[in-house]
Amino acid sequence: MPREITTTEAPKPFSNYAQAVAVDPGSRIVHVAGQVGAHPDGTIAKTAAEQHECAWANVLAILTAEGMDHTSIVDAHVYITDRAQIGLYRETRDRMLKGHRAAATLLIVAGLAHPDLVVEVSAVAAK
């Protein structure tokens, strides 16, 4: 079972994520490639909110296929194209992870693989 690591010798997280997460030996590890705001049929969601929802839902669907869930996520890297979406990112992440705290990195980037995409989420999970 992944374990959250905290220390007062480093700054507290700026939102609801872990400073670090330890994965014990013998755990099965899954690396989820970057998932974007597209539906399973490949159509890109129209709004930023829908794209954030789809990206996280896609990550969770892949984990489900491997017998894992949101509590298996130990690290997430999220790329957004607009700093104004930081609040949307945090709200969506917190809702989709249902209070689970994983290590996380958020990057604001100039663009993603398709010009209509606004978010991409990759994750590492362990069980």
Domains and CATH numbers, the chain: 15-126 (3.30.1330.40)
pLDDT (0 to 100) of residue 1 = 77
Place of tokens 């996280």: 56
**Whether the predicted model's global pTM rises above the 0.85 cut:** yes
In this structure, which amino acid lies at residue 114?
H
Strands, E assignment, 7-114: 20-22, 29-36, 73-80, 103-108
Per-residue pLDDT of the chain (127 residues; tens, 9 = 90+): 789 999 999 999 999 999 999 999 999 999 999 999 999 999 999 999 999 999 999 999 999 999 999 999 999 999 999 999 999 999 999 999 999 999 999 999 999 999 999 999 999 999 9
Continuous segment of H or E residues that includes residue 40: none
